[in-house]
Amino acid sequence: MAVTLRALQTVVPPTILIQEQVRDIFAAQPGLSRLAQRLVSTSFNVSGIETRHTVIDELTLDNEATDPQFFDARQQLLLVPSTKVRNELYISEATKLFVEAGRLALAACPDIRPEDVTHVVTVSCTGFYAPGPDYMLVRELGLRASTQRYHLGFMGCYASMPALRTAKQFVEADPNAVVLVVSAELCSLHLRTSSDPDTIVASSLFSDGAAAGIVSARPPLPGEKALALDLFETVITPVGEGDMAWKIGDAGFEMVLSTYVPHIIDEHIEGALAPLFARDASITGQLAASLHADSAVSAVGTVLAAPVLTIAPPASLSSVIEHWAIHPGGRSILDKTEAKLELRADQLLPSRETLRTNGNMSSATILFVMKAILDGSATADGERVCAMAFGPGLTVESCLMTVIEG
């Protein structure tokens, strides 16, 4: 029984942030050191981002808000709203994105009606409320009152991967299950001015967006392309616990995003992928791979036995796995991944284009990349897809999928 991800749909809020304009505003904020001003220019210029989206309509140069809470356009001043103010906006605006993305996903699956949905899995790390987005989806989309609801909160950028894994497990337990998975993130609510390098990097990357899809055992319709969810794997790298973190402060949520993260990924990405590939006989066979145990000790003292994949030429990952959905946490992460795994430039294009036009939307971003792959004219039935997302810990979530065309 193939469990498939269908009807991937994405939504972004209407307010567009031009990266160069945002850079100049952040660089001109009072209290920044000269070093911080240079870091702002560098971080924004090398981000690989041209545009981002936000639910904060104040964040435009021409806004005329009489009582601004986030940005005073007249003084070109970034304000410091409380966590409560930020979360209140999350409640109203995130709900809209959750519902719109879910509605679009259902509309894209004409053989699935709202009353067919048995489970809802929602994902977000940029706000909280109860009853939450899982409840709002049931109410606003006309799902059955008995729909089982699950929310994965505060996990960070990788959270859509365990959401898909959970959905797959529901369908494997009950082949009649239909799971609506929706991620919505409002990262821009927590952007702030600071001389701290980690905060500057975060301010140059994060944005808002939502994505949704339907997981079930129902095959795609004629002409429809979907993704069979084959295998999932989770790995915690032996270092990096303090290099990517997400905490709640008095003036919003506080992101720790060290510039060392790309180096951690560079050093450990092969070891993180090895357990996933080792479970797929077709991949290991094509790569003529040999596996051996390599024990690594994590920052918290847990021993991880992670097989390391040794690839014998002439096979390569880029030839065995055609499509790569890599979470674009930043341009340097994509650069390191492309070089380390010896991927072709075109295989990272969906990730780079997602970053260029939308920035880093935390957990929703990987679903944007998957949709870009599915929508590609060259994507064909039977081709393999490897997805990877990174988050606090440092946690690496990976997945093997197969393109299925109805």
- Same domain as 239, residue 184: no
With a cut of 80, say whether residue 235 has pLDDT above it.
yes
Tally of domains within the chain: 2
Residue 229, SS3?
A: strand
Q: Would you say residue 82 lies in a domain?
A: yes
With a cut of 50, say whether residue 95 has pLDDT above it.
yes
Q: Would you say residue 302 lies in a domain?
A: no
CA atoms of 7 and 13, how far apart (whole Å): 20
At residue 164, what are phi and psi to the nearest 5 degrees?
-65, -40
- Same domain as 365, residue 242: yes
216, 234, 266: which is the final residue of a domain?
Answer: 216
Domain limits at 18?
Answer: 4-216
- Same domain as 151, residue 60: yes
Number of Cβ within a 10 Å radius of residue 179:
26
CA atoms of 45 and 159, how far apart (whole Å): 28
- Same domain as 347, residue 368: yes
pLDDT at 147: 98
Between 274 and 116, name the one with better pLDDT.
Answer: 116
pLDDT at 307: 45
Residue 369: left (phi > 0), alpha (psi -120 to 50), or beta? Answer: alpha
189, 216, 243: which is the final residue of a domain?
Answer: 216
Q: Which residues contact 255 (CB under 8 A, 6 or more apart)?
A: 190, 198, 199, 202, 206, 245, 246
The length of the chain in residues reads 406
**One-character DSSP codes across 257-321:** E-TTHHHHHHHHHHHHHHHHHHT-HHHHHHHT-EEEEEEEE-TTS-EEEEEEEEPPTT--HHHH-
Percent of the chain with pLDDT over 90: 78
Mean pLDDT throughout 105-116?
97
Q: Band the pLDDT of 182: cuts 50, 70, 90.
A: very high
216, 235, 256: which is the final residue of a domain?
Answer: 216
- What's the CATH code of the domain at 373? 3.40.47.10
- Same domain as 139, residue 98: yes
Q: Band the pLDDT of 288: cuts 50, 70, 90.
A: low
Condensed to tens digits (0 to 9), the pLDDT of residues 2-47 reads: 999 999 999 999 999 999 999 999 999 999 999 999 999 999 999 9
Q: Would you say residue 200 lies in a domain?
A: yes
Weakest-pLDDT range from 164-173, 245-254, 347-356: 245-254
pLDDT at 308: 46
- Same domain as 334, residue 256: yes
Mean pLDDT throughout 76-85?
95
With a cut of 70, say whether residue 105 has pLDDT above it.
yes
- Same domain as 249, residue 174: no
With a cut of 90, say whether residue 284 has pLDDT above it.
no
* 356-388: b (≥16 Cβ within 10 Å) or e: bbbbbbbbbbbbbbbbbbbeeeebeeebbbbbb
With a cut of 80, say whether residue 111 has pLDDT above it.
yes
CA nearest to 19, candidates 225, 217, 213, 205: 205
Q: Would you say residue 300 lies in a domain?
A: no
CA atoms of 114 and 121, how far apart (whole Å): 15
With a cut of 60, say whether residue 359 has pLDDT above it.
yes
- Same domain as 241, residue 196: no
Number of Cβ within a 10 Å radius of residue 244:
23
Mean pLDDT throughout 149-154?
97
Q: Would you say residue 301 lies in a domain?
A: no
Q: Would you say residue 298 lies in a domain?
A: no
- Same domain as 252, residue 169: no
- Same domain as 203, residue 55: yes
Between 239 and 367, name the one with better pLDDT.
Answer: 367
With a cut of 70, say whether residue 139 has pLDDT above it.
yes
Rounded to 5°, the CA angle 280-282-286 comes to 120
Condensed to tens digits (0 to 9), the pLDDT of residues 197-233 reads: 989 999 999 999 999 999 999 999 999 999 999 999 9
CA nearest to 278, candidates 305, 308, 304: 308
- Same domain as 158, residue 36: yes
Do residues 9 and 180 touch, judged by C-beta distance below 8 A?
Answer: no
Mean pLDDT throughout 112-121?
98
Q: Would you say residue 154 lies in a domain?
A: yes
To the nearest whole number, what is the mean pLDDT of the chain? 91
pLDDT at 205: 96
- Same domain as 184, residue 271: no
Q: Helix axis angle, 19-27 relative to 197-205, nearest 10°?
A: 150
Condensed to tens digits (0 to 9), the pLDDT of residues 290-318 reads: 333 333 333 333 333 444 444 444 457 88
